Amino acid sequence: MQKLYKPLLFSVSLIPFGVLIYNGFRDNLTANPIEYITHYTGDWTLYFLLITLSITPLRNLTGKLIFTCFRRMLGLFAFFYACLHFLTYFVLDQYFDFNAIIEDIIDRPYITVGFTAFVLLIPLAVTSTKKMISRLGSNWQRLHKLIYVITTLAILHYLWLVKADTTLPITFALIFSVLMTLRLPWAKNVKKFFISEIQPSSH
Amino acid sequence: MLIKQARDIKPSEITSKADYLSRRKFISLSSSKILSLYILHASLLKSGKVLAAEKIENFIKNTDFSTDEELTKYSSIISYNNFAEFGLDKEDPAAYSGDFQTSPWKIKVEGECDNPGEYDLEDIINPHQLEERIYRLRCVEAWSMVIPWIGIPLSDILKKFNPNSNAKYVAFTAPYQPDVMPGIGKVAYEFPFVEGLRIDEAMHPLTIFATGLYGEELLNQNGAPIRLVVPWKYGFKSIKSIVNINFVRDMPPNTFNKFAPDEFGFYANVNPQVRHPRWSQARERRIGKFFKQDTLMFNGYADQVASLYSGMDLEKLY
């Protein structure tokens, strides 16, 4: 199962990147391509963060352990799109203008939190290898709880940028809070409740 | 013998008028926003609807006030817009302003003037010679364009209404039509969109009412049928699709200032020295160019307009 699904998921996760490249070659990235690429890669970072965070609740609710096998890859794709997002800003938008970048990070709250979220993702990506997992032991779990902080900062980053139309960042925040709620201890009882409801009818 | 001829189109295949009118809503609801915009935009471009602007005859070129910088492409000017009434994405105004009617058009003139009243657009425009002015446009979001506007000096228009000595400011209002403006209710600004100028700013020879660009009448997304253009101020000051002109004694409110007073002032003069919490104003990206360029004081019009603000602290009165 795993062997079949993993390459499939890997290819599917690359589709947004492929679409971006395709549209780039077709000169189909609006009148302001750099802004478009920045927003597009930022959107996909958030999508992948939320998809990654939905794995544990999915496992808990369905009892299917297979979901956990995809979590690392999805998390790394969140990092991949975050890297593209940051590089777009660093190279295409600011063109290595360090003074302007530092001013942005210090002066503009939405960039402060966005940059922090990106920096915090790096240790998670670095410690995603099997070797690191076993070496860090129980600290690994603790370290990777940072994803909750990162996602919060990423949503704030979006919210503070758009300001006037908050539909999407608020939607992300709602999804995020549902995913967090499903991690609370009572969520396991909900699962038990559902399973006991379903079982009699399956006779 | 009666031979029944089959109809070309089965009644069941005809889209109902209600469905037709709500087609945009359908598209935006039924698929992801990105996808729908692509489809809509591509189909509009293919059908030529986006480019269906009317040619303007009889305008003179005003070279005294025009820049000779390279013009921004027409396709960029009509596809990359801020017009919050139609949504906040840059493609939204072109995609969602199709049901907005700009003809016939009336403008109500009121306040401290001798000739208030409701005027037909033609009566406001026709007495004047249209002229082309190639201006830089600097958006507060740190992008810019060079646009060949066609319009009339605002002072020529305002003088016809004979403002009196109490008219210290001019307030402008845009339409409020929620049924054809999907941004209203979605975007957090207070609508209708309002803007204002000090009377000397309004009477300055650089300030115009534009009715066209690139030799064609304005499209809805650019503020048809008539809009303000104040080239030394951030783009949001140049209010689109004006329906009301009001001569007033006190400084009128403006929408962006009401929304975020710490970010947007009344004056909104382009000023690379005044920091903004979301965008650095020191530099700008000219649409169509890769490298950013330095933003100039008063958007490069300092020689003409700096004297309007002598003695004012522009850091405080941003």
For domain A2-185, give the fold.
Four Helix Bundle (Hemerythrin (Met), subunit A) (1.20.120)
Residue B269 has pLDDT above 50, yes or no: yes
Q: Is the pLDDT of residue A88 over 90?
A: yes
pLDDT given at position B8: 58
**Using one digit for the tens of pLDDT, what is the confidence trace for A174-203?**
999 999 999 988 776 766 666 665 555 444
| Per-residue confidence (pLDDT) for residue A66, from 0 to 100 | 83
Q: Is the pLDDT at B31 greater than 80, yes or no?
A: no
* Mean per-residue pLDDT over chain B, rounded: 89
The answer to whether residue B28 is domain-embedded is no
Put simply, the answer to whether A164 touches B91 (Cβ < 8 Å) is no
CB contact under 8 A, B76 and A166: no
- Min Cα distance B220 → chain A (Å) is 18
Taking contacts as CB-CB distances below 8 angstroms, the residues of chain B near A164 are 84, 88, 187-189, 259
Inter-residue contact B86 to B223 (CB < 8 Å): no
Please say if the pLDDT value at position A112 is more than 70: yes
> What are the distances in angstroms from CA A99 to CA A48, A89, A90, A135, B140?
31, 14, 12, 39, 20
Listed by number, the residues of chain A in 102-121 with a beta carbon closer than 8 Å to a beta carbon of chain B are 103-104, 107-110
* Nearest of B139, B174, B97, B173 to residue B279 by alpha carbon: B139
Is B169 inside a domain boundary?
yes
Phi, psi of B284 (to 5 degrees): -145, 155
What pLDDT, on a 0 to 100 scale, did the predictor assign at position B29? 46
Q: How far is CA B316 from the centre of its chain?
A: 27
Q: Are B204 and B108 in contact (CB under 8 A)?
A: no
Whether the CB of A19 is below 8 Å from some CB of chain B: the reply is no
Question: Is the CB of residue A22 less than 8 Å away from at least one CB of chain B?
Answer: no
User: Between chains, do A32 and B260 touch, taking CB under 8 Å as contact?
Assistant: no
- Count how many Cα atoms sit within 13 Å of the Cα of residue B188 in the half-sphere of its side chain: 12
Q: Residue B285: in which H helix or E strand, if any? A: strand B283-286
- Answer whether residue B1 is part of any domain: no
Of B90, B275, B290, the CB nearest to A107: B275
Give the count of domains, chain B: 1
The boundaries of the domain holding residue B71 are 64-87+102-309
pLDDT in tens, B112-169: 999 999 999 999 999 999 999 999 999 999 999 999 999 999 999 999 999 999 999 9
Mutate to test the interface with B, among A20, A27, A35, A38 (most CBs of B within 10 A): A35
Contact between residue B318 and residue B267 where contact means Cβ atoms under 8 Å apart: yes
Reported confidence tier of residue B13, pLDDT bands at 50, 70, 90: low
Residue A33 with chain B: CB contacts under 8 Å: none
Q: Rounded mean pLDDT of chain A?
A: 92
CB of B186 closer than 8 Å to CB of A171: no
Across the interface, whether the CB atoms of A95 and B291 are under 8 A apart is answered yes
Asked if the model's pLDDT at residue B222 lies above 90, the reply is yes
Query: Which segment, A11-20, A157-166, B48-57, is predicted with the most confidence on average?
Result: A11-20
Here the ipTM equals 0.85
Q: Which of A31, A95, A103 faces B80 most closely, judged by CB atoms?
A: A31
CA dist A59 and A68 (Å) reads 7
Q: Is residue B18 part of a domain?
A: no
Which positions in chain B touch A163 (Cβ < 8 Å)? 188, 260, 278
What percent of chain B stands above pLDDT 90? Answer: 78
Whether residue B195 is contained in a domain is answered as yes
pLDDT band at B173 (very low <50, low <70, confident <90, very high): very high
Cα→Cα distances B92→B75, B82, B98, B220, Å: 15, 8, 11, 11
The predicted pLDDT at position A63 comes to 84
Nearest to B155 by CA among B212, B202, B210: B202
Q: What's the pTM value of the predicted model, to 2 decimals?
A: 0.85
- Residues across chain A: 203
DSSP helix/strand/coil, B9: coil
DSSP structure string for B232-265 = TB-GGGS--S--EEEEESSPPP-HHHHH-TTT--
* Residue B45, domain member (yes or no): no
Contact B245, B170 (CB under 8 A): yes
Is residue B186 in a domain?
yes
- Identify any residues that bridge with B212 across adjacent strands, giving them in sequence order: B150, B217
Does pLDDT of A114 surpass 50?
yes
Residue A141, CB half-sphere, CA atoms under 13 Å: how many? 3
For residue B12, being part of any structural domain is answered with no
Q: Does A31 touch chain B (CB under 8 A)?
A: yes
